[in-house]
């Protein structure tokens, strides 16, 4: 690792900070609330009683989450350089908000939260069945982020300082104008801007917002389900993940952008990387089923591991390896948590 000063604030994330309320449930619980495994959705009226029901379970855990925040925390853990990463999002003025602040601080992330006076801190129900997870997000305060917060000098300073900026697709539902400001800044200043497809519903119902920002995106992440929905809504008529990754990488670029790299994970199947009109695949670290605790945060951890190498100027191959390492660590633990030190070389 080079001198820590050169990595000061090198990576910035912006997104929806959510407190994960995670518990092992059964199929009947999923049916009761009409949720599918391996999906991520926004809570509707019918889901609201779920949070109390999960909280009353003996095995419930509360873990600071939110997709982008998870990725940033994992990148920070992999880097082991204090202050290398920073994060912005909106929380409420409540005990969950305090937990969020403490978790960010403990992780070594410089967090500048916008604190909403009225709304409670957002939560995410994590229903685990057989190691697979379903996510139902009740954004609350996370939905209240405003670009006015971003424009404040002390917060915009984090943008100025960063050389890499990562935002999960989930933030498109909250503050597309904040994303646009940061995306344009990255294009004008030759910085690397990265996003994630994040969930089928983002690709399907927030297509316009996604379409507007895509030209600015240097690296786009996603999983095979999201990639196939992305293809479907565009009428590409292919389910072939390699072909879809290639086509995503070749979508139009904003002026000043050289190229786009698409990185699509497929669970236990190889990671697909499309760059310069070519596709490469990289195997993941396979895990015996009995070691799987839950897949919550696996995709976020992959991105975090990937970013930890990219910001050091490492190759795509090294970045994918680090992503696979981080994801492998996270799925052997509950939620997006990790041991004290990484063991990656």
- pLDDT tens for 229-288 read 999 999 999 999 999 999 999 999 998 899 999 999 999 999 999 999 999 999 999 998
Q: What is the pLDDT of residue 224?
A: 97
Per residue in 126-161, pLDDT (tens digit) is 999 988 899 999 999 999 999 999 999 999 999 999
Q: Please write down the HEC assignment for all residues of 170-191.
A: HHHHCCHHHHHHHHHHHHHCCC
Q: How far is CA 250 from CA 183, 196, 243, 280, 281, in A?
A: 18, 16, 11, 15, 18
Tokens for 271? 């990671």
> Is residue 232 in some structural domain?
yes
Three-state secondary structure call for residue 268: coil
Domain hosting residue 93, numbered range = 11-17+65-121+139-331
Residue 340 placed within a domain: no
Q: pLDDT category, 14, cuts 50, 70, 90?
A: very high
H helices present in the chain, as ranges: 27-32, 49-55, 67-79, 95-107, 147-151, 153-161, 176-188, 200-205, 207-213, 224-233, 241-249, 298-310, 316-330
Instruction: Write down the residue that tokens 């030759």 correspond to.
Output: 190
> 200, 207, 251: which is closest to 228 by C-alpha?
200
Q: Do the domain assignments include residue 336?
A: no
How many angstroms separate the CA atoms of 173 and 316, rounded? Answer: 29
- Tell whether 35 is covered by a domain: no
> Is 98 a residue whose pLDDT tops 50?
yes
Asked if residue 225 belongs to a domain, the reply is yes
pLDDT of residue 256: 82
The answer on pLDDT for 40 being more than 50 is: yes
Answer yes or no: is 28 within a domain.
no
For the stretch 298-344, pLDDT in tens is 999 999 999 999 999 999 999 999 999 999 999 998 878 888 899 99
pLDDT band at 178 (very low <50, low <70, confident <90, very high): very high
**Which DSSP helix (H) or strand (E) runs through 138?**
strand 132-138
Task: Kindly state whether residue 44 falls inside one of the protein's structural domains.
Answer: no
| Cα(101)–Cα(110) distance, integer angstroms | 10
For range 167-177, the mean pLDDT: 97
Residue 5 has pLDDT above 90, yes or no: no
The pLDDT assigned to 1 comes to 47
Measured between alpha carbons, how far is 17 from 40 in angstroms, rounded to an integer?
A: 15
Residue 50: its pLDDT value, please? 95
**Three-state secondary structure call for residue 252:** coil
Q: What are the catalytic residues?
A: 300
Q: What CATH number is attached to the domain comprising 72?
A: 3.40.1190.20
Percent of the chain with pLDDT over 90: 87
* Mean pLDDT taken over the chain: 94
Q: In this structure, what token pair is assigned to residue 262? A: 């698409």
pTM for the model stands at 0.94
Distance from C-alpha of 296 to C-alpha of 138, rounded to nearest angstrom: 16
pLDDT band at residue 2 under the 50/70/90 scheme: very low
CA distance 202 to 189: 28
* 40 is a domain residue: no
Q: Across residues 70-91, what is the average pLDDT?
A: 96
Domain count, the chain: 1
């Amino acid at each position: 690792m080079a001198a820590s000063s050169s990595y000061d604030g090198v990576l910035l994330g912006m997104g929806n900070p959510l407190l994960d309320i995670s518990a092992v449930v059964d199929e009947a619980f999923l049916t009761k609330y009409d949720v599918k495994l391996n999906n991520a959705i926004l809570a509707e009226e019918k889901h609201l009683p779920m949070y109390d029901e999960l909280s009353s379970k003996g095995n419930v855990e509360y873990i600071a989450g939110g997709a982008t925040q998870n990725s940033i925390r994992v990148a920070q853990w992999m880097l082991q350089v204090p202050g290398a990463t920073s994060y912005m999002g909106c929380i409420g003025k409540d005990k969950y908000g305090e937990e969020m602040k403490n978790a960010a601080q403990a992780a070594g992330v410089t967090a500048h939260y916008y604190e909403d006076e009225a709304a409670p801190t957002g939560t995410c129900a994590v229903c685990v069945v057989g190691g697979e997870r379903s996510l139902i997000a009740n954004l609350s305060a996370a939905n209240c982020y405003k670009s006015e917060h971003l424009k404040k000098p002390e917060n915009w300073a984090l943008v100025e300082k960063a050389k890499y900026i990562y935002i999960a697709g989930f933030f498109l539902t909250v503050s597309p104008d904040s994303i646009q400001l940061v995306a344009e800044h990255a294009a004008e200043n030759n910085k690397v801007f990265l996003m994630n497809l994040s969930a089928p519903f983002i690709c399907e119902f927030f297509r316009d917002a996604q379409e507007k920002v895509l030209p600015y995106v240097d690296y786009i992440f996603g999983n095979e389900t999201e990639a196939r929905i992305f293809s479907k809504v565009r009428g590409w008529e292919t389910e072939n993940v390699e072909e879809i990754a290639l086509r995503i990488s070749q979508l139009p670029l904003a002026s000043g952008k050289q190229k786009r790299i698409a990185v699509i994970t497929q669970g236990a199947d190889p990671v697909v990387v499309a760059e310069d009109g070519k596709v490469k695949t990289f195997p993941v670290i396979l895990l015996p089923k009995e070691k799987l605790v839950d897949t919550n945060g696996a995709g976020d951890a992959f991105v975090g591991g990937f970013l930890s190498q990219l910001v050091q100027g490492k190759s795509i191959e090294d970045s994918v390896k680090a992503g696979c390492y981080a994801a492998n660590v996270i799925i052997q633990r509950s939620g997006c948590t990790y041991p004290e030190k990484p063991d990656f070389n």
